[in-house]
Amino acid sequence: MGYYKTQRNYQQARWDEPILLELGNPGERGILVPQAAAKVARLAGPVNKLLPAGLRRKHAPQLPELSQMQVLRHYMRLSQETIGTDINIDIGLGTCTMKYSPKINEQFVRSPKLAEVHPCQDDATTQGILEIMYRTEQYLKAISGMDKVSLQAGGGSQAIFANVETIRRYHESRGEGEQRNEIITTILSHPANPGAAATLGYKVITLYPGADGLPDLEALKAAVSEHTAALMITNPEDTGIYNHRIQQFVKIVHKAGGLCSYDQANLNGVFGITRAKEAGFDMCHYNLHKSFSSPHGCQGPAAGAQCVSQKLAPFIAVPTVEFDGKKYYLDYDRPDSIGKLRKFYGVPAVLVRVYAFIRSLGPDGMKEIGELSILNNNYMLKKLLEIKGLTLPWAPGKFRMEQARLSWEELTKETGVTTDDICRRILDYGFQDYFASHHPRVIPEPFTPEPVESYSKDDIDEFVAAFKAIAQEARTNPQLVKTAPHKAALATQIDESGLTSWQKFATTWRAYKKYVALKDDSHLKK
């Protein structure tokens, strides 16, 4: 029967822990670095003369002075105040595909053979990692049906940006760069799609769903013209509804001379079942840290894959990894390429996980992932929809894929408790807060879970039971929910206004100290 419980006896650790830069005392050391040997010092000369004058510090860096024990204690305490995939069930982070990453894959990437490789090494000394990258590119070609893959992107949004750059470069090569200045997308596609298009100067046309939850086909027909550069679409979208008319969408855009880009950041429900090629797409992208086993990008390293058809291959991001029959090498010799996306080459540690994930499963195993994800999702939906106040908007009863966007709107109208309140309260049950929705929130009071293939029936039952309990609390003691969290490391609600205010945003300790100084001196400026 497993460990299914309706309610956890949970209390997270709370440490009144300062940040690292506020700890330590002058003179404390974690390790004493030995002086250079006399012969080395004599041959090298004074250390301060080895650097050009312009690179030398005028002052010593203001680093905390700490012992090893202090540092270890600090990070152990922080780890106790953190919830993650090794501690809790991450079903709530829908669209993010929070799956289990086998620990052997983590051992692979922590090996000195990988961890100590430097990106500036000669190709002759990095044949192992280059072979893994090359083979991963070939596997992704097979999975997508596309003809060329670049692993340059540091995540899904950067891969989307690369695809938009590729779209532009393609039309420019045909003398239609200025003419084709519109990109069509949907309101439920990831915001990075319209965001990348707008950033690169395109006019964005947004399609909205009809009663069946699918993007409106007639609206697409009205939107396409000689100005259409591309259609950028996700399928299934965040509602979990699969667009069975996707080939019609592609044909309409192609007839108008546009390209079609498939956002497959979340591939989990269609592994081994359908491919971008058969749907007629010209390109797609993957979030490798989602569907292919790695810590999620927002909570760890990210990696994206740009996959394109043959006609777009000349424009793909460089470098790609090639094999000449004897050795693997990075290929920069692509004069029509959109260029590099980042300083070096993607995130090799994630790519090793991806390679291990694909090799360990094989085609049959990957198809089973898709099937299990769909099975888990639809079992979870059946159980969640037994909770009074929780509904599944749009196309009721229509089949969902590996995720779904639900709504707490009925519960909110009844009790005043919102999805944001429930999101905070779930922390008290030992679960990570859930993903509500991308913005704009098209569905009111949204809730987007995704159980993927990693979680058991017991896990899903435990997850559902927690929300059932919170829904009951909302009716009997709404203030308990509205004032949550109570058992989390930070057992209070924080002021989130600073998250969108550049005046309050400090990304470094130095910037924070400047902000405090300015705040303290504000009376002098009046």
CATH classification code of 147-358: 3.40.640.10
The predicted pLDDT at position 524 comes to: 43
> In the predicted model, is pLDDT for residue 227 greater than 90?
yes
The predicted pLDDT at position 522 comes to: 54
Collapsed DSSP state (helix, strand, coil) of residue 328: strand
Q: What secondary structure letter does DSSP report for 35?
A: P
Span 371-413, pLDDT tens digits: 999 999 999 999 999 999 999 998 888 889 989 999 999 999 9
The predicted pLDDT at position 297 comes to: 59
Span 62-71, pLDDT tens digits: 888 999 999 9
CATH topology for 365-482 is: Aspartate Aminotransferase, domain 1 (3.90.1150)
What are the sequence ranges of the domains in the chain?
18-80, 147-358, 365-482
The per-residue pLDDT of the chain, averaged, comes to 90
- pLDDT confidence band for 165 (50 / 70 / 90): very high
* The 148-150 sheet, strands edge to edge: 148-150, 304-308, 283-287, 259-263, 228-234, 182-186, 203-207
147-358 shares its CATH topology with 365-482: no
Collapsed DSSP state (helix, strand, coil) of residue 469: helix
Which is nearest to 412 in space by CA: 471, 494, 466? 471
Cα–chain center distance at 518: 35
Span 2-15, pLDDT tens digits: 455 555 678 889 99
> In the predicted model, is pLDDT for residue 526 greater than 50?
no
Residues 6 or more apart in contact with residue 185 via CB below 8 angstroms: 193, 194, 197, 204, 205, 206, 207, 231, 232, 233
Q: Which of 16-25, 96-105, 510-519 is least confident?
A: 510-519
Average the pLDDT over 322-337 and give the result. 95
Average the pLDDT over 25-44 and give the result. 88
Percent over 70 (pLDDT), the chain:
96
What pTM value is reported for the model? Answer: 0.89
Is the model more confident about 33 or about 434? 434
- pLDDT confidence band for 491 (50 / 70 / 90): confident
